[in-house]
Structure 1
């Protein structure tokens, strides 16, 4: 059964409790279940990881080269996660960048993602639905 990497960065482990007016009320476990449901018919299994540190995220990416694709919410590491960018540049499968909030409607420092130019696509501002949409996009992009 092929694996799909679902990788979340700093502070995303407290979704549901973290600024629900910005990030919504869905927990990370809820999102993981929704993505698993989205890809189940294809026979894919979700391998979900959340790390508050960039080094751990990089290790997960490097250990996941055999996955069919990835959904990555880098959190604030989108702004200056240059090592994360380097790791994703070497990731061999398609991957989607996801953000729960519309980062371009927020503080100016959030308006630039150093990893977005490498992503297969980017979805932002639609809450937890963005993960499901990213999964659909990968289902469409990855050949059996």
Structure 2
């Protein structure tokens, strides 16, 4: 069974109630279910993981070596998640960085991702639809 790693960082576990004017009203469970619907017709499953701490996310990447691809929303760790960056550098499959909001339309500190240069692609500003778009792209790239 092929598995897609759906990795979400700090503060994404409270989607649906966290600043809904920016992040919308869908929960992380809603997002995982939507991604599952995108990939299940291809025989894939979703391994959805969310952690507040960088160390736990690093461990999830290391333990995800058996997955066929990944969607990663690092949250604020995009700015200074150097340990997560190093873990993703050794992840052996394609992965796409996703951000719900348009990070370049927000505060200046969000305008650079230390992870993006390693990603197969980056999707920003499409709301939670960005996760489904990433799943569709990964079906083509990793399928």
- Fold similarity call, TM over 0.5: yes
The corresponding residue for 1:79 is 79
Structure 1: runs of 5+ lacking an equivalent: none
Following TM superposition, by how much is the alpha carbon of 1:73 offset from its aligned partner in structure 2, in angstroms? 0.1
The count of residues paired between Structure 1 and Structure 2 equals 143
Task: Map residues 102-113 of structure 1 onto 2, 5 A cutoff.
Answer: 102-113=102-113
Equivalent position SS for 1:97:
strand
Give the TM-score normalised by the residue count of structure 1.
Answer: 0.99
Supply the RMSD in Å over aligned alpha carbons: 0.4
Q: After the TM superposition, list the runs of 4 or more consecutive aligned residues in structure 1 that deviate by more than 2 angstroms.
A: none
Structure 2: state its 5+ residue gaps.
none
The alignment's TM-score, normalised by the length of structure 2, stands at 0.99
Q: Tell me which residue corresponds to 1:2.
A: 2
Distance 2:68 2:57 in 1: 17
Q: Counterparts of 2:116 and 2:23 in 1: how far apart (Å)?
A: 20
Q: What's the counterpart of residue 67 of structure 1?
A: 67
Q: How much does 1:106 deviate?
A: 0.1
Partner Cα separation in structure 1 for residue 120 and residue 58 of structure 2: 18
